[in-house]
Amino acid sequence: MSASSTEEQKMKELRELLSRIADSVNAARAHYQIWFMLRGEGKALPEYYQDMNDHRYVDFFHASNAGHYKLMFIELGCLFDPDLRAASMRNLKIALALAGRKDIVRTIDASLAEYKDLVSGILTIRSKLIAHKDIGAKSKDVHAQSKIVPNEVEKLINVCSELIGRISAEIFGVGNTLAAVTDRFERATLELLNVLRKGRTCARSE
C-alpha cells in the first residue's frame, strides 16, 4: 500500500470515528434536554405539572423521564469509554496523534481537564446502575458519591459539541461540522407540552 493510500485510509477512519462520536454527543444532548425540560425546576415544572400528571398519559411521562435519563448516561458513557474498541474521546485523541495532530489532542485535554471528576461520576453511574446493575449498589448512594450536577452535565456536552464541531470543520472543511451547541430538543419538548395543554383545554370546554 502506497503512502498516499495509507494516509487516505487514516483520514477515512478518522472521519468515521468523528462521525460516531458526534452521534453520541448529539444523542446525549437530545436526551439531556428532554429529560431536564421535563424534570428541571423552572423548566416544565411546576408550570406543566398538571398537564403531565393527567391520568391518561402520566405513565408516558414517567417512562420518558426514566428513559431519557438513562440514555443520557449511556451516550455520555460511550463518549468517555476507556475501551480501546470504543468510538470515544480517548480513541479520537489516539487517532489524531497518529494523524500528526497532537495540537488538537492538547486542545481536547485542556478543554476537558476541569470535567475529570464529572466524567468519572458519569462512568460510575453508567456502570453500576444502568449498563450493569450491581447487586449492592443503591441508587441514592451512587448518585451522592458521583456528585452529578445537571448544569455541569450540560456544560460538558456543550464543550464536547464545540470540540467535535471545530475538529471536523478544521480537518474536513466547514461543511463537515458534525456537532453544534443547540437548544432544539428543549424547544421541541416545550412545544409538545404546549400542544398537550391546548388539547386538554379544548377537551374540558367541550
One pLDDT digit (tens) per residue for the chain, 206 residues: 566 678 888 888 999 999 999 999 999 999 999 999 999 888 999 999 999 999 999 999 999 999 999 999 999 999 999 999 999 999 999 999 988 999 999 999 999 999 999 999 999 999 999 988 888 888 888 988 888 999 999 999 999 999 999 999 999 887 767 898 999 999 999 999 999 999 887 766 65
Identify the pLDDT of residue 30. 98
Secondary structure class of 20 (helix, strand, coil): helix
Identify the pLDDT of residue 2. 65
Q: Considering the entire predicted model, what is its pTM? A: 0.91
Query: How many CB atoms neighbour CB 127 within 10 A?
Result: 16
Q: Is 30:183 a contact under the CB 8 Å cutoff?
A: no
Identify the pLDDT of residue 3. 63
Q: What is the identity of the amino acid at 202? A: C
Q: 50: Cβ–Cβ under 8 A, 6 or more apart, which residues?
A: none
Identify the pLDDT of residue 160. 97
Nearest to 128 by CA among 66, 68, 65, 73: 73
Identify the pLDDT of residue 38. 96
**Rg, C-alpha atoms of the chain:** 20
Domain ranges of the chain: 2-200
- Alpha-carbon distance 136 to 91, whole Å? 32
Identify the pLDDT of residue 144. 87
- Alpha-carbon distance 73 to 75, whole Å? 5
